[in-house]
């Protein structure tokens, strides 16, 4: 037997051993719980940035400036995410996917826990907002690396590829689950404390409680085997020595296409959910609670719709699913605002819920589609970079663009056209993308 054939036999044996000790379902569970923690931590910071941090960490400014500075601290993560994608993506291609799963979980969880222990501005002065900004940057780094590691693990353990879309959607469903847990936690604390208690110690509990999720997630992720695809790269000495440079030099077209596939989804996620929190009370004059209820119902429906669309993408293909989602989302983006303008609460909630179903049809296949755009030796780097850079061009810019369009034209129809442009970009990039499967 030749050395080459011996090596292939060894690789196949290792792959079979990995699949025996770690099933795709166990990997999916490990990815889901860790990514849920990441999104939970992300959303509780956003809630605290709006409700708590302006008064406790930036009180030297007038209320408007304090709120602005607090929201800027929230936005630091959007800058850190691509950095985290580059760092942990490279580590995922050099050291292993499992290493990324464990390290990002610990960084995110410990950063969140430490935020819950931070002294306020009245106690330590400028050190308080500075430390808050540093910990927020660390959260962004972890979130930037988390998605790539989790998505690749569930993809690469399903070597047959028959349920890759479904397993990948379990990474995606962590987002609405994180929203629900974060909102539920803050809602519970709000009911058991008065305003003074909430500002004194109540806001800290959601941050400190994250340590329990870290413990569970760490235990599960430590028991997961390394991806069989990465093991075959190690045995075959085919690992990229400089994954980031190789990706930027030889796979930049795939990165750009990945950005285009993801960025438009970020736009409609903002329009169909978070824009409600501004649009409903300020433009329509309806209670803010109605907007909150609409967003929460949208998240509940998303928990069901995302795995469903993931499974459908296995049956009908990821490209077909994404293109169908684009068509449905374009139609709904033009029906969305007329429904809101009726000012009928049930129709406001319906507008958000159907919008989030459309968004789920685009969100669910991404954890399988984007990694498949890259060859295995640079897959973690390429997929992470494309996904996280798209967040900057899509979700991070969408709030400012939507508010500017409303202020400039005083007509939500222009936001619908903005959504349609982003969705058309998805269709173009999906049609041009070539995947490994």
Q: State pLDDT tens for residues 135-194.
A: 999 999 998 988 888 888 888 887 666 788 998 898 999 989 988 888 888 888 888 988
pLDDT, average across residues 416-435: 94
Burial of 4 (0-12, 13-18, 19+ CB in 10 A): exposed
pLDDT of residue 430: 95
Task: Identify the pLDDT of residue 207.
Answer: 94
pLDDT at residue 237 in the model: 64
Of the pLDDT bands very low, low, confident and very high (cuts 50, 70, 90), residue 18 is: very low
203, pLDDT greater than 50 = yes
Among 49-63, 350-364, 384-398, whose mean pLDDT is lowest?
49-63
Residue 161: which residues within 8 A CB-CB, separation 6 or more? Answer: 437
CA atoms of 223 and 368, how far apart (whole Å): 23
pLDDT for the residue numbered 403: 84
Q: How many CB atoms lie within 10 A of CB 220?
A: 19
**Domains of the chain with CATH codes:** 14-228 (1.20.1250.20), 241-437 (1.20.1250.20)
Q: What is the pLDDT of residues 80-127, one digit of tens each?
A: 999 999 999 999 998 888 889 889 999 999 999 999 999 999 999 999
Lowest mean pLDDT among 23-27, 133-137, 419-423: 23-27
- Residue 22 in this model has a pLDDT that exceeds 70: no
1 confidence band (pLDDT: 50, 70, 90) = very low
Distances (CA, A) of 324 to 176, 316, 357, 428: 22, 11, 12, 13
- What confidence category does residue 11 fall into, taking pLDDT thresholds of 50, 70 and 90? very low
Most confident of the following: 216-225, 273-282, 338-347: 338-347
Query: Rounded to the nearest 10 degrees, how much is the dihedral formed by the CA atoms of 396, 400, 402, 404?
Result: -160
Closest to 418 measured CA to CA, from 263, 292, 244: 263
Task: Please provide the average confidence, as pLDDT, over all residues in the chain.
Answer: 86
CB atoms within 10 A of CB 77: 24
Residue 131 clears pLDDT 80, i.e. is over it: yes
Residue pair 272/336 in contact by the 8 Å Cβ criterion: yes
Residues 77, 42 contacting (CB under 8 angstroms): yes
- pLDDT greater than 70 at residue 12: no
Tell me which of 19-33, 39-53, 301-315 is least confident: 19-33
**Other C-beta atoms within 10 Å of 234: how many?**
13
Mapping DSSP to helix (H, G, I), strand (E, B) and coil, where does residue 58 land?
A: coil
Of residues 437 and 4, more confidence is placed in 437
Reference 8, options 175, 236, 260, 160; nearest CA is: 236
- pLDDT at position 14 is 46
CA 406 to mean position of chain CA atoms: 27
| Of 101-110, 222-231, 307-316, the least confident | 222-231
**Any idea which residue has 């009245």 for tokens?**
122
Q: What percent of the chain has pLDDT over 90?
A: 46
- Taking the model in full, what pTM does it have? 0.85
Is the confidence at residue 277, as pLDDT, over 90?
Answer: no
């Amino acid at each position: 037997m030749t050395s080459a054939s011996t090596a292939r036999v060894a690789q196949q044996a290792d792959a079979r051993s990995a699949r025996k000790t770690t099933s795709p379902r166990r990997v999916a569970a490990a990815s889901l719980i860790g990514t849920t923690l990441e999104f939970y931590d992300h959303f509780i910071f956003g809630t605290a940035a709006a409700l708590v941090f302006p008064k406790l960490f930036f009180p030297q400014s007038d209320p408007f400036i304090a709120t602005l500075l607090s929201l800027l601290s929230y936005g630091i993560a959007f800058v850190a995410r691509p950095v985290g994608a580059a760092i942990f993506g490279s580590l995922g291609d050099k050291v292993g996917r499992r290493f990324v799963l464990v390290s990002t979980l610990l960084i995110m969880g410990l950063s969140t826990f430490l935020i819950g222990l931070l002294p306020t501005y009245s106690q330590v002065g400028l050190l308080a907002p500075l430390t808050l900004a540093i910990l927020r940057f660390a959260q962004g780094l972890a979130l930037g690396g988390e998605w790539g590691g989790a998505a690749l693990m569930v993809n690469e353990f399903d070597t047959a590829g028959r349920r890759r879309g479904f397993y990948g959607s379990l990474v995606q469903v962590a987002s609405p689950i994180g929203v629900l847990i974060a909102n539920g936690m803050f809602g519970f604390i709000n009911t058991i404390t008065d305003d003074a208690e909430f500002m004194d110690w109540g806001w800290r509990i959601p941050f400190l409680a994250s340590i329990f999720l870290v413990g569970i997630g760490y235990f599960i992720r430590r028991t997961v085997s390394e991806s069989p695809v990465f093991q075959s790269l190690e045995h075959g000495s085919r690992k990229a020595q400089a994954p980031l440079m190789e990706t930027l030099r030889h796979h930049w077209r795939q990165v750009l296409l990945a950005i285009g596939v993801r960025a438009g989804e970020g736009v409609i996620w903002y329009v169909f959910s978070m824009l409600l929190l501004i649009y409903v009370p300020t433009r329509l004059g309806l209670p803010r609670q109605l907007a909150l209820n609409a967003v929460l119902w949208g998240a509940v429906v998303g928990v069901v719709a995302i795995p469903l669309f993931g499974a459908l993408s296995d049956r009908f293909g990821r490209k077909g699913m994404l293109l169908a989602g684009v068509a449905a989302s374009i139609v709904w983006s033009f029906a969305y605002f007329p429904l809101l303008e009726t000012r009928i609460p049930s129709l406001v909630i319906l507008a958000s819920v159907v919008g989030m179903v459309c968004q789920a049809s685009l969100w669910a296949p991404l954890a399988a589609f984007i990694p498949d755009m890259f060859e295995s030796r640079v897959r973690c780097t390429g997929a992470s970079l494309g996904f996280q850079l798209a967040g900057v061009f899509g979700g991070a810019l969408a709030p400012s663009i939507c508010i500017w369009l409303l202020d400039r034209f005083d007509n939500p129809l222009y936001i619908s056209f903005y959504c349609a442009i982003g969705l058309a970009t998805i269709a173009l990039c999906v049609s041009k993308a070539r995947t490994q499967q």
